[in-house]
Structure 1
Amino acid sequence: MNHRALREPVSPSTETPETEMHALLRKPLPAVAAPAWTGSALGTVVQSLSDGRFVVEPQSGGAPWHCPRAASCLLQPAVGDVVLVAGPQREQLFLIAVVTQADPSQSQLVAEGDLTIRSRRGGIALQASMFALQADKASVDITDMAYRGAEVRVTTLVARFVGRTLETVLDRLSLLTRSSFRLTEEVEQVRAGQIDMQAAQSLRLHAKNTFVTSQALVKVDAEQIHMG
């Protein structure tokens, strides 16, 4: 009797090998890298520091920036303004421009030192519904000036006018003073339709030669009249 060698089938293993997908799922996620710095970005001003720098929150997220204001940015940034910052790296940024103001009704042009506005070929015009100028000292040097307005009010403690010629053309002149002194070295002339002079105490006219003339009538009236 021939016996055949019987081969028993090998039963498959109960343990399933890990797939590549399972291995990938078990790997930790890589850290999200910060976006590469492009040289400039937009942000929002959240604080103004006492040293002149501004705390700017990036629109793309991340840690806030501490940026000094660039010399080219004359418009003073305010909290809430959208600004443009630029620099060679994130640790060295400058606030170079105000893109959008949180309150457009309030604007300030600020310079750390002397500021000169100059037009080499054209003119400079200021136009507004109200104009206010405030300074400790002011100096105006103008070759030829023309002023036109409806009304002028001047309030000052001391006023001095020094010039060669003064011409005033008025419809009416009113002058109220506690004391008045006028000195004319040469000739003083007055031409009027009528002259009315009245003094509460005394009136004195004195000259080397005095002439009182009239075409029709000369009247001298007093309780006492002394001649000579």
Structure 2
Amino acid sequence: MTGPMTSRSTVQHAATKLPPAASNGLIRGTVKTLMTATEAGVETDAGESVLARQAASCLLAPAIGDRVLLCMIGSETYVLAVLERESQHAAEISVPGARKVTISAGETLELSAPSMNLAARQLTLLARNMAHAGQILTSNFKTIVETVIDKTIGARSLTTKADVRTAVITEVETLNAGTLVQNIDTVATQNSEIALVTAQRDVRLDAERVSVG
């Protein structure tokens, strides 16, 4: 349930004033206090104070000030539904006592909001096809591991910055560029069994000293 929790002394004092209802039927009331995560002190329209538990079918957790529908069965009182809520209270969807909740649809499931927050200790997404589009994407991770068969990146500009970069190509690496510029601050080293440099017009070496062999 949403809303501030009362102190233990307040709960004990309120519990003595909220005896279980003895009658049967459906009545309306207003939530006055939140006793536990699933129990609330409710004042009925008749002025009676009762202790009611959130029914499993009441997915909207009651908050203080809510108008609710109560079901009284013998000594038990349940909150069946939240009828009205003040706009300043956030809506919390919960199933009392449930450790796992599943939402399924036969064709399409949609979630829409101007802003959405998703928090989980572990998140798994499984999809045959996935598409995401937007203007800005920001990712912050300690470690990223990607395993793909084929990967294609298309961009107007691509910038990579790292302290150390290692690329391991087991077969062939091909680079096609209009102009290739490499700026090395200290030492550039290439080691290969056979090295070929082919130019259609000129090959130029410009340095204070050039050593061959």
Q: Distance in 1 between matches of 2:209 and 2:113?
A: 67
1:214 maps onto 2:199 in alignment: yes
Q: Does 1:205 align with 2:186?
A: no
Give yes or no for contact 2:63–2:89 (8 Å, CA) kept in 1.
Answer: no
The alignment covers a number of residue pairs equal to: 190
- Normalised to the residue count of structure 2, the TM-score between the two structures is 0.85
Q: What is the CA RMSD across the aligned residues, in angstroms? A: 1.5
> Equivalent residue for 1:52?
38
Q: Which amino acid aligns with 2:79?
A: L
Of structures 1 and 2, the larger Rg is shown by 1
Higher-RCO chain (CA-CA 8 Å, sequence separation at least 6): 2
Distance 2:183 2:113 in 1: 48
Check conservation: 1:78, 1:102, Cα contact below 8 A: no
Identity of aligned residues (%): 24
User: 1:38, CA displacement in angstroms?
Assistant: 5.4
Answer yes or no: is 1:125 the counterpart of 2:144.
no
Aligned position for 2:94: 110
Q: 1:159 is aligned with what amino acid?
A: I
Structure 1 unpaired stretches of 5+: 1-35
Q: Secondary structure at the match of 1:134?
A: coil
The correspondence of residues 5-24 of structure 1 with structure 2, limited to 5 A, is none
Q: Does 1:170 align with 2:162?
A: no
Aligned counterparts of 1:100 and 1:51: Cα–Cα separation in 2: 20
Aligned to 1:153: 138
Shift of 1:52: 2.4
Once residues 200 and 34 of structure 2 are traced to their aligned partners in structure 1, the CA distance between those partners, rounded to angstroms, is 83
Indicate the SS of the match to 1:41: strand
The aligned counterpart of 2:58 is 73
Kept in 1: contact 2:27–2:69 (CA 8 A): yes
**1:203, distance to aligned residue in structure 2 (A):** 0.5
Q: Deviations for 1:98-129, whole angstroms, at most 9, x for unmatched residues? A: 0001236511101232111011x221001100
Partner in structure 2 of residue 19 of structure 1? none
- In structure 2, what is the Cα distance between the partners aligned to 1:135 and 1:80? 30
Whether the 8 Å contact between 2:23 and 2:72 is mirrored in structure 1 is: no
Shift of the alpha carbon at 1:198?
1.5
* Segments ≥4 residues shifted beyond 2 Å: 102-105
Q: Please state if 1:226 is matched with 2:203.
A: no
CA distance in 2: counterparts of 1:193 and 1:105, whole angstroms: 60
